[in-house]
Amino acid sequence: MANLAQELSESLAGIVEKNGNGIVRVEARNGPPASGVVFSADGVIVTTSHAVECEDGIEVGLPDGSTVSATLTGHDQATDLAVLKVNASGLSALEWGELDRLKVGHLVVALARPGRTTRAALGIVGALGPEWRAPTGGKLDRYLQADVQMHPGYSGGALVDLNGKVLGLQSAGLMRRHSVAIPGSNVRRVVKSILEHGTVKRGFLGVGVYPVPLPEPLAKQVNQSHGALVLSVQPGSAADKAGLVQGDVLISLDGNAVGHPGELAALLDEEKVGREITAKVGRAGQLQELKITVGSRA
């Protein structure tokens, strides 16, 4: 038993030592530094969006102890990801793994660099679910939460398995009082989009909305208590072209209920851009359907 414990201890120390070379410190806010992960050896760093409060004066602490300036390439608040670029040599990019064989109860290690040295915390996979929409509106391929204590500065660091592969990026900005890991598949997709376009495409209707209770007859008809009152329609936007007008109440979009602005934002992901979808609208107390071709915010 003692030998097994010693072997596991040595294995964990090896994982921390090896992968620690791909973890950096990110100083881009008024407060404690966060962490980041070396995405590619040419200087691409990925971290959490909420940890980057400024665009100028960003500094990154490297594993060799040096500190270099960084530029913000782009960020996506919906998935709480930001991409930085540094001019440095000798960086070690971490290897990303998949969640296919991951199970609740598997051991994982959280790696961070809020100071000059690598820090680590051991835990288990506490929750693993299907596709999940964060309160910020971003859609994550899986819901992944580890039973790891998130000390200050751990957000933006890596969650790795016992093979040393990164399962996701630890984020304290997607949920209140809970940290979740942004899956590697999401990270790779967002980084690719930001490097190519400077942003992540999102669906855009061109409306300003406010949550309102539905009239009782309409609420019973659609089996829904609230909708989103259209306060404004941007001229020439997708909503304007579809015939939405001020005073309409948006009830559902593509078969999904819309009760407040957050739900509307969550439904307008990049997959909807360019698609024609059906919107159910309350107008003068009557239910109507409109066809809308979703535009793009990017």
Q: Which residues are catalytic?
A: 50, 80, 155
Number of residues that this document lists for the chain: 298
Write out the two tokens for 146. 């580890």
Selection from 51, 50, 25 nearest residue 36 by Cα: 25
The helix (H) or strand (E) run that includes residue 286 is: strand 286-293
Phi–psi pair at 33, nearest 5 degrees? -65, 155
Query: Are residues 185 and 168 in contact, defined by beta-carbon separation less than 8 angstroms?
Result: no
In this structure, the number of other CB atoms found within 10 A of the CB of residue 8 comes to 13
Query: Are residues 43 and 91 in contact, defined by beta-carbon separation less than 8 angstroms?
Result: yes
Write out the two tokens for 182. 């942004």
297 class by beta-carbon count within 10 Å (0-12 exposed, 13-18 middle, 19+ buried): middle
Write out the two tokens for 101. 């064989």
In this structure, the number of other CB atoms found within 10 A of the CB of residue 150 comes to 18
Selection from 19, 44, 29 nearest residue 155 by Cα: 29
Q: Give CA separation, 46 vs 60, 133, 196, 232, in Å.
A: 11, 21, 15, 36
